[in-house]
Structure 1
Amino acid sequence: MTEAVSEVLSRFTTFRLGGPATDVTVAETRDELIGFCCAHQLGLTGEEPTGVLFIGGGSNLLISDDGFDGAVCVVRTTGVTTIEITTTDTRVTAEAGEDWDDFVAHTLELGLSGLEALSGIPGSVGATPIQNVGAYGTEVGELITSVEVFDRVAGQVRHLSAVELEFGYRTSALKRAQIAAGTPQFVVLSVTFDLKRSEQSLPVRYAQLASALDVEIGNRVSATLVREHVIALRRSKGMVLDPDDHDSWSAGSFFTNPIVDDADALPAEAPRYPVNDPLSGAKIAGKTKTSAAWLIEHAGFSKGFSIGAGRAALSDKHTLALTNRGHASTSDVIDLARTIVTGVEDAFGITLEPEPTFIGCALDG
């Protein structure tokens, strides 16, 4: 574990935003990460709930321009292990600090399928169960069997099953506990997935991906081919990290797709998608998901929209991404986000919910 030092937190976020912190530690092993957690247990040191910040890939963080006044742990733990469960099923465990897309590529190299539609997503493995990361018809909650965590209240390592994790759309028990406490109660140490030994992908579920592959929804194709097309689609939207592309200086999709109880209240032409249980796959009655990007566009906000000096703007490729055009501040992004939320609410009566975790800042502040 590196000695705690002063850093500018923009170094660790894909938004390239975030002010200074004076107590930054990099944990490169599981023991170092557990050691940091032990030194910062909840209810033991008397620290305020905002006194500790954990950073993985930094792809889902919006950190204040004032930085963070507390201890910061950058999680850089690595390691992947596999266990053959049957001739067709393999259990794969990855340490929290593993780069997510590198991990996905590694599973495909091992001849395992399941994660291919989640290719190209920036961030770390440890962050994926917190947010129940999903894309192109797949969510990690479908494939995770357990998560190993350090419980900062109990002061011990625990294994949480998929049922205990209570996955939902872009949420989990881990995320809900973090929101309730104002700080992570459960720090992810490793994540375990059950994957199939197959060259074939999961059934293609997403219309845009099916169109790109020239197949019908529900078909299976080469998992490697799915990965290639997903990365191409993400790149076309500025959703693959590129230091030379300001459209990728973001936290990806800034708003979650709204889930409504009354689909009839949506505009007739608004997209409608079923809401499925991530574990059983069963449709949840009375719930309808619509497109945040569609709402943003039809509220009058086009690609590239900006306010003020234009330092923060909607992506030139995708209206769901708020981007740093190279010299933005976190305040610039907040101001832009507020404008979008107000415009959509005025137009459709739907309040967009941000997807990133806000540190030291808020939309309603």
Structure 2
Amino acid sequence: MTTTPADGTPHSGPNNKRSSKKMASSQSLNHLLNFSLPPRQTHQYQSLPRRRKPGAQQAVWNKERFLNAQYRFVMNPSGDYTVHFADPDIYFQWHDILQIIVPRSSALASASGSLVQATHEEGVTSCPICLSPPTAPRMTKCGHVFCFPCILHYLNTSDNLKWVRCPICFDSVNERQLKAVKWIDNTLCIDDEDDTVPTASSSSASAENPMVSTPTPGTQLRMRLMQRPQITTLALPRSRTWPSDLLPPHQAPFHFLPDVHAFAKFMLATPSALIADLTADLDDLATERRMLASMKDDLGVNFVDAADAKVRHQIEKATALETPQLKEAIEAAHHALEQIEGHARCSIGGRAE
């Protein structure tokens, strides 16, 4: 409220005093202090490292770690794998791996980048390129399974002769890193008195298995107790053959020893087994070639022939593995197997009496 006296001079009330204080406080006095703001600098804040909480670790996807944890391996018999018995997290050298064992009835098989055909049994993967069950299957270092002819065709389409991008994960792929895949059928419905173990097949078309791969209502599921001795990573089902003094827990076992092929993380290959699996790949390639020839697919036939030639070269390399030292080691392992089986039969006979 403003009052005007008789001389005409206005007097400010409480409201006018408050508004005058606001106007005085809103005026800039920087010019009296000779003060000015520095020029604005443009920083690339996105290039600065982000602050993280103490103890927080950044998750890194490691494909080599995934392969080492999820699959089992058939190794070169001339390699030294002593360190792998002390630490299971040590990666296997890729050049020492001869075959990669992949279970058919596993979700991991279908999650490795391949599609599952509804017309085939569960767990049989399909090549991501031709969408058919893989012929002479080969796995890349990033963990994806392809037909041998399909991946050779894909590699040939690139101008870079050394490596290409994986069609699934865009990781680097080259021909020398391709590894043979050995499918294994996990048979879960097993009779209590039978020591049947999962059967393996390296070919693309598996034989019909009377056992079921997945448990169904009314079937029996046999569970086996695993045992791992101290200071070793070798774990096998506890049985009449394990643990045994004839099967050293600190030496890489051959694939034909009891329960090794079905349960061991890694095992030694034999030239005869490698040649048998590669010969099965040749049979699959011959079947594929006849089918493509009937369809007059000359380009497909050319890459099947290329895969055939490379498989034959792999057979020659597998034959060259058989040295006198390896032959002696295989014979010693077969002799130990006979002794283990003999002790197991004696224990059964003693229990029966």
TM-score (norm 1): 0.23
Q: Flag the structure with higher helix content.
A: 2
TM-score (norm 2): 0.24
Q: Flag the structure with higher strand content.
A: 1
Higher relative contact order (Cα pairs below 8 Å, separated by 6+ residues)? 1
Give the greater-gyration-radius structure (CA). Answer: 2
